[in-house]
Structure formats: C-alpha cells, structure tokens
Chain A
C-alpha cells in the first residue's frame, strides 16, 4: 500500500521543504521507493535542495495538463536509486492545481511508489489544500514559537475537516508533530517554547525534534539533503524521525542544552 505523506505547517519558512527532502531521502535510503512532489507552484525550491534544478524539463503542472507524461517529468536522484523528484512549475500560478488533476497524478504515482511525500506551500490556500487533501499521514512541521504553533493548530483543524479522509468519513489522517529549528539554549532563556509546551498545545504525537543547525544551510547550498550529512546533528535527527515514521521507537536527541565547553571540544571552534 502506498502511503501519501504531506509535510505541512501553515506558516512559511519553518522547514517544510528541508524536511520533505530529508524525509524522502531517508525513506529511500532505507530501501523504500519514494517520490517527493513539490506543491509550491511558482516558488519551486525543492529541486534546489535536492540538487536537481538543472535537470528539470517538465513539471507537475505539465503532467496535470497532459503536456508531458509522468516518466518525462520525474527526475531520478543521482545519489539514491529509490528516489525521485516531481518538480513544481516556476511559471504557472497555483490555480493550475485542480483536485482531479492532482488526484490523477497521485493515483498514477501510487502504482509505482511506496511513499509519496508532498511538500506543501505555506498558507491555507489552494496549493496547501491540494497538498493535504489526499494525505494518509501529515507531518506538521512547527517551529517552537507561538505564531508557528498557532498556524499548525489551524492546519490540524483543516486536516480534520477538509481532507479527503475527513470528507469521506474514512479513518482520519495520521498526524505527527515535527519540531524544527529547535534551540535548547533559547528555550532555557525563555525565547522559545519547549518541546513539552508545543506537544501540550498541539496534542499530537511527536515524530522528531530537528535542532537549529548550520549543517542545514550548508546542505541546501550544496544541493544535498541534510540527512545525507550523518556527521551533523540535524542529519541524525532526521534519520531518527524517518525511523520513527517506519515504526521504530527511539529516544529524542538534541533536546537538551549542551554545555559550551563540550561543544567546543567536539567541533574544535
């Protein structure tokens, strides 16, 4: 059975695209045939983070409009044989996504792939609704700050009322919390909400905590998903999250403050 997973948040800039790329790559590395689909029409950047922007010929909207078939639009990842990217169009506007069109593409992808990761745009407009509509599972990406948590709560409401599963009265979309850009030091100083605060407010199971990390910027600049950098804290945290998504139980790492001296000893800076 194919699992359709939406990476969503409401708020922009919280790490959806970073997480979509990392999780898709992580699933593929574990041997699952995975495609990651960019729903952020007009602002594509998944292909940048996946390092395949120079190989985009056809996109998601071309496939919906019948101007190309899926095989022409899917980009095979260079590093990972099980991984494919369906890029977004930079030139169209977001109304190009129709429920019928998206539904058809996802059902065609379901014939070939075990996991379909949908990288949602920000907001609660058409693009975001299309990305979550067909989902079996939602990874609600949240930063430890009030406005992000509020928007995530809003998206959870949408998942419970506006998704296909909700509309058809099927088993509800599985919801997981992915806390990103977490900085234990700033939690201690009271600048950020703690893991417990966010869990308490959103009341859904936690699938991972990704620390704020230099490695993420480095990774996106070089077009390699951060999960490939297994030396980095963020890379390890994403690996743990993927393992939990596949049912493993692992303790959370990188959630407590590391003493300065210790950090320095590791990174020698």
Chain B
C-alpha cells in the first residue's frame, strides 16, 4: 500500500479567527482507496478538505501549520503542498487534486465546453483530442448516454444530479490523482445519489478519493477508511469496518450509533 497524500499535524486558523478550526490533524489518503470523513456539523470536515487543494487561498490571511504531503508523479518522493507559493504551482496542484462541491457548479457554458474548458487551460488544443476526452470523461461519469445529444446545450439546463455528474466529468477530464468530494450527494435525490455512489466505487480504480459525508450508511457503503472528526480534531481513523463495528474511542461509538451529533 502507498499513500497518495498525507496530512501531518495540520493546524489551520481562519483569517481573523481567535482559535484554530483544525488541530494537529493526521490523515493518510491511500492510493486507489476511498477515505471518508464523518463528524457533526462544524467539526471541520470541509475546512480540512479545502486545505488539501488549498482552495482556502482564494481568500487572504488564513494560517496553516504542519504539512500536507502529496506524492510526486514519479512516486519516489513527496512534496509538501503548504510550501507552494506561485500561482502556476497552485494551478498545477488543483489539476492534480480535483474537487467536487456540495452544490453542483456548472459553468455558464455548454455541456461540452464545461469539460473542454479546464482541458484547454492545460494546453490541450487539438479538437479531436478534446472531443475524445469529453466523451471518455462523460462515460466515466455515467452521464454520456443522457447528454450525448445535448452536448451543445447550456449545462445549466441539466437536472441537479446530471449537473453534479458533469462536475465530476469535468474534474476527471484533467486526469487528477486525487478527487475530493464535499458532501456531493446531499443536494440530490436518492436515485442520483445512488448513481454517484456507484460511480465513486468505479472511480476508485483510477483515482484516490476523499469524501466528506453526513450520511453514515454512505460512508459505510463506499469507503475503505473512515476518519471521525469532532471539534477540529481527528478523533479516530481506521478501516471503515473497524470504525463502524468496533471503534476504540467512545465518542466515535456514540456518534455512529446516533447518540450525539
């Protein structure tokens, strides 16, 4: 086994906040596995996820301590992404570590352009190549059959579930190594949710995945590892079976059995 990412002793403080929102967090993201983050609202799950592609840095003044190591493409060594400064490095980071948000965020363009856009920014210009990637990503995101005749329609005309799968297609078109999901199904109906869960279990073969979810069954169904967070701390991290069957910390047990949270 090999870790794609390793969060090591991360302490994160929002700009102007008196206290850190994350305290000394440890979290490995194993390659080609699904890691789930659970915990009550406000415990810092999104904050942690958003540190892992440094999307926090859109806004000035936040403060990181510790390290977040990302495996280099040659798989020989790790780079601490908290050390990145230049815009070009940040862009490269976000191409390698993709992110899917809670609310679907289609760009104001056609379905095809939504996918082609990020691709063109990476320098892929040839039309045929772009079209191939569009088709392949939409197939991987289990959306191709539904939209193959609507590629030139405005993406905002798709249903919520389709929009979310389009966002996933858009992310995987860039061939990321890690995909971060922040409650990707909480705004969707059960059928779209199922479609996305199935897709995630397929995506695991190619990508390393970290998913935040409020739905405990979802975490149990799709993840290999689960981390339980509470008040900015990583209370327990283990294999998903262990966390749900015989957690070693009392707080974890209380949370998953629904006694608090």
A interacts with B: no
